[in-house]
Structure 1
């Protein structure tokens, strides 16, 4: 029995090691996982796997949705109050993120631009937030200008989110030749439903029937196995895809 338990621990460590290699994590994680399979797996799960998993992102989205429905302006008010009281870079980043979530894209851009001039100018979180604000404000080319270097310099930073954002920015900027490969790479690495829908939309726009058929099969399979909450989270994307296909 002890041997079975030890084997299970190593299997878990191998699973996380494969995840680390596929997502471009630093090589020291492999050393940690195989030197300390039990503790290393627990640490990797808590520090890397869970924070970047789709489950955690969906939980964040659900939490934000509930909070916004109960008190839409609460986070902006609290972030503004904190920044007014203590105008640190951290509080400014919080305010920028709150404004972006509230749909105040121009105001969010102004705050992120200020962050890009400060001590956290090279912080991946700031760069990603600034890119998202630009994309939401109708400036996809400016967003891509931030996202492409971010992806190149920090390949292990939220790779799925950055890859999807970059693919969307390319598509919105009319750079279809760049958008397709970027979205396809993101789908191949992570297989997320959002990236698959964006890739299907790209294939539809660009007349790639083979790719469209492949992605629609995967999307249909995912939709059949989604719970009601997950379907609701992605409702707008599904509606966008259905509307595009109805025009064929």
Structure 2
């Protein structure tokens, strides 16, 4: 019983950490649906790499700058767009809106950018598709990505491919989504495709296959992550603080 209570407290603390740090909310599903594997994955993929990377100070400096002036980039983009209604400035403003979660505004800006020589631009279409997905306009998102593939078959982007798989998943196109996830998992650099694939398989009641994928991801990430006593102490300190904040 004490172990069960402790595991639930740790699970809650990790969910709080996801929300506080603004990480992808998909992690909440992973932590809830796959408690043990999800906790390990979040620790290895998110918390420890952040601690290790903080040694060079670059990430910390960027975070401090964002905290001190969180609207600097979007304000600068707005000023540039006011001075010149160029496609470049429209795209930059759209990117900043997307970063801020202003998905409808970003969608409108990307749509305005699709004109003249840029009417079939794959990067703009990809940006628009991201907005449509976040706005839950899944049919329009698929149509946009299909149009992109038709107009720019040479365009290869693993994140666009992942978005396509997730869109098919959202549209309940199970067979098509499974094919895309499996293809992505074979070449995608990074853990994201594998994590989404595992969640997909879990929903299909293929828990063993999902767990095998998660275990492979963890092994790969453990090879790339430097574990130190200091990083573990920092993690435990943060976990304790999160539990205290919850209390």
- Please report the TM-score for the alignment, with normalisation by the length of structure 2: 0.61
User: 1:85-106 CA deviation, whole Å, 9 max, x = no partner?
Assistant: 0111111111111111110001
- Aligned-residue CA RMSD in angstroms? 2.8
- Taking the aligned partners of 1:123 and 1:69, their CA distance within structure 2 comes to 34
Aligned to 1:208: 206
Aligned to 2:244: none
Aligned to 2:155: 157
Q: Is the 8 A contact 1:131 1:146 kept in 2?
A: yes
- Taking the aligned partners of 2:111 and 2:62, their CA distance within structure 1 comes to 24
- Taking the aligned partners of 2:187 and 2:138, their CA distance within structure 1 comes to 23
Aligned to 1:5: none
- Taking the aligned partners of 1:124 and 1:61, their CA distance within structure 2 comes to 30
Q: Which moved more, 1:94-103 or 1:63-72?
A: 63-72
Q: Is the 8 A contact 1:141 1:170 kept in 2?
A: no
Report the CA distance between 1:207 and its aligned residue. Answer: 1.9
Aligned to 1:178: 176
Q: How does 1:75-224 map to 2 (within 5 A)?
A: 75-151=73-149, 153-224=151-222
Q: Which runs of 5+ in 1 are unaligned?
A: 1-59, 230-248
User: 1:114-162 CA deviation, whole Å, 9 max, x = no partner?
Assistant: 1124431111110000001111112122112112332454354342111
Q: Count residues with an aligned counterpart.
A: 170
Aligned to 1:235: none
- Taking the aligned partners of 2:61 and 2:163, their CA distance within structure 1 comes to 21
Q: Is the 8 A contact 2:120 2:148 kept in 1?
A: no
Q: How does 1:9-48 map to 2 (within 5 A)?
A: none
Aligned to 2:28: none
Q: Which moved more, 1:61-70 or 1:143-152?
A: 61-70
- Taking the aligned partners of 2:146 and 2:81, their CA distance within structure 1 comes to 30
Q: Is the 8 A contact 1:140 1:173 kept in 2?
A: yes
Report the CA distance between 1:67 and its aligned residue. Answer: 5.0
- Taking the aligned partners of 1:75 and 1:127, their CA distance within structure 2 comes to 22
